Amino acid sequence: MTWSRHADVMTSARRLLVDPDTSGFYHCISRCVRRAWLCGIDPYDGKSYEHRRGWVEQRLLELADIFAVGVYAYAVMSNHVHVVLRIDPALAASWPDQEVAMRWVRLFPATVNGEVDVPACRVKEQTLLGNADRLSVCRQRLGSLAWFMKALNEPIARRANREDACTGRFWEGRYKCQALLDEAAVLTCMSYVDLNPIRAGLAENLEASAHTTAARRIEAVRSNPLNARLPLSSINTTIVSDYLPITTEDYLDLIDWTARLSRGDKRGRVDSTEPP
């Protein structure tokens, strides 16, 4: 099954879609419930939740440095989040025990009154290293798509519920997931995700598409022009990435060109008179 932009085709059982022992690319979508607005201005009460975009992006980047995951595209929208990633369980299997313990404790640190307790974290690492069975479970989870999405969504839900002074579900059941079976599907899906703010009429161009990988890649090229000619890879550099058959510069040119095309089912596009 290859990628489609239509969410209603994402109906395969997760256990049939995601092989926990095999690396692969996936497109995941998490949506809010109870008319909740993850970010932006809620039209029902006029309240701004724009600051929550930063919560999601920060958490996503933190997890990308912990899990055996390469993040290739994301877009934090008003009431949903898109992520294109490559899970690599074989990489997690190759990590030394000490690294597995360190990464797991980074994910679930020991805390006191909400603050990380560094000495207690060291003790937790040593305890984990002394428990081979538990360490094996942690290793498997650090290479798991399900655990990555769980670690992304649950803290955001708890934080939003505290801010909203309510309880119950924040996300709409389980995240939706689609396997991307070849490089063409990965690139097509990445461009779809990066163009979400423009197609939704929330941004005028790629640079203004805040909290997307497109904006992050543009900033990386501006800070170091040599990045433009590098093969397109994940945005997190702490993991060995699969490179896609296109440079970062060519990818940005491709999605800029695509953004200028009108689509009958989408209200937004880049003005064709705007310089590329």
Tens digits of residue pLDDT in 60-90 = 999 999 999 999 999 998 888 999 999 999 9
Q: CA-CA distance, 186 to 167, in Å (whole number)?
A: 36
Q: What percent of the chain has pLDDT over 90?
A: 51
Tens digits of residue pLDDT in 215-238 = 999 999 999 999 999 999 998 876
Rounded to the nearest integer, the mean pLDDT of the chain is: 84
Name the strand (E) or helix (H) holding 189. helix 183-194
pTM of this structure: 0.84
Domains and CATH numbers, the chain: 7-88+143-259 (3.30.70.1290), 97-139 (no CATH)
Q: CA-CA distance, 28 to 81, in Å (whole number)?
A: 8
Please check the confidence at residue 36 and state whether its pLDDT lies above 70: no
Structure tokens at 32: 């809010």
Name the strand (E) or helix (H) holding 99. helix 97-107
Please check the confidence at residue 110 and state whether its pLDDT lies above 80: yes
Tens digits of residue pLDDT in 129-178 = 999 999 999 999 999 999 999 999 988 888 888 877 777 777 777 788 99
Triad 141, 146, 147: Cα angle to 5°: 40
Winning range, highest mean pLDDT, from 5-9, 81-85, 114-118, 206-210: 81-85
On whether the CB atoms of residues 85 and 179 are closer than 8 A, the answer is no
